[in-house]
Amino acid sequence: MRLTELRRDVLGFILDSSAPVGAYELLDRLRARRGGGAPPTVYRALEFLREQGFVHRLERLSAFVGCIDVNGTAHAHVQHEPAQFLICRACGRVTEIEDHDLARALAAAARRVGFTVAGATIEAEGQCANCLRAEAK
């Protein structure tokens, strides 16, 4: 694995962002830093980062987030590990959780209908604790 300067820049933009980042926003940031860039360049970097487990793609938002553990530390996610995300509709914050019971329940439900799950990303929308507290005031 080779983390080139371009890949490092793209990963840094994602990790520095407080919200999921779209590919074209990444391209704009890359152009501001480097003075150039094309969509295929960003997409290739994102694909590499996804393959290595450094970032996740949130399908619902068509955006990317870094792989962050419960302590807030960035890490490479083991390939094919289930990913679960809680997306706040109010502030846009995304929290990654790692619930093995949920992953096992999905695999069990799939087996009951003769399906084998090779990988799954679960995206749940709602409101985060901060937004719920602010709304209650």
Domain locations in the chain? 1-72, 80-137
Residue carrying structure tokens 């870094």? 66
Q: How far apart are the C-alpha atoms of 56 and 67, rounded to whole Å?
A: 6
Query: Is the Cβ–Cβ distance between 26 and 46 less than 8 Å?
Result: yes
In the predicted model, what is the mean pLDDT of residues 81-97? 88
Q: Which CATH architecture has domain 80-137?
A: 2-Layer Sandwich (3.30)
Give residue-wise pLDDT tens across range 39-77: 999 999 999 999 998 999 999 899 999 986 545 555 555
In CATH, the number for domain 1-72 is 1.10.10.10
Average pLDDT over residues 78-98: 83
Average the pLDDT over 22-34 and give the result: 95
Buried b (16+ CB within 10 A) or exposed e, 32-46: eeeeebeeebbeebb
Question: How is the chain split among helix, strand and coil, in percent rounded to 5?
Answer: 40, 20, 40
Specify the pLDDT at position 36: 81
C-alpha to C-alpha distances, 105 to 85, 94, 102, 108, nearest whole angstrom: 16, 23, 5, 5
Report the alpha-carbon distance of residue 47 to residue 1 in Å, rounded: 13
Locate 93 and state its tokens: 């914050």
pLDDT tier at 17 (50, 70, 90 boundaries)?
very high
